[in-house]
Amino acid sequence: MSKHVIESAAQMWLRLVFDFEGKAAVKECLNQPGVYVLFRDDEPYYVGQTKRAPLFKRLKNHATNTRGRYYHFWNYFSAFIISDAKHRDEVEGILIASMPIANGATPKIKRIPLPRIVAKKMRSIRISGAAQDE
């Protein structure tokens, strides 16, 4: 068992790696389960994970299945090899919660509500700022 949550990462690889002759080398690099982020240019679009399947298989499916839900919407990806399934859920949840993305899932993270006194102060600052702009 690794002492690190994330054992290794492929960052901002082109989707085209699934079309090249060297895809066997890519398959070897992404041969374990983990979490991935699909990007549209440099904007995160979708976060997902594999339960048992290698990242390569799931990402290749996203890249080559023309009927797939996300097929037309991404051109780069990052992948994170995470052996421990519990950590995969946690990392995926953190990524989903931290980015405005197309995921329909809500991460299983307890939310901390903004204290009312802070929300009230922010509201008054926003209102007074809007009044000054007029």
Domains, the chain, with CATH or none: 8-133 (3.40.1440.10)
Residue burial 3-35, b: 16+ Cβ < 10 Å; e: rest: eeeeeeebeebebebbeeeeeeebbebbebbbb
Count of positions (residues) in the chain: 134
Check residue 2 and give its pLDDT.
Answer: 56
Check residue 122 and give its pLDDT.
Answer: 87
Q: pLDDT tens, 115-127?
A: 889 888 888 888 8
**pTM of structure:** 0.79
Whole-number percent of the chain with pLDDT over 70: 90
- Name the strand (E) or helix (H) holding 117: helix 116-133
Q: pLDDT tens, 80-98?
A: 999 998 899 999 989 988 8
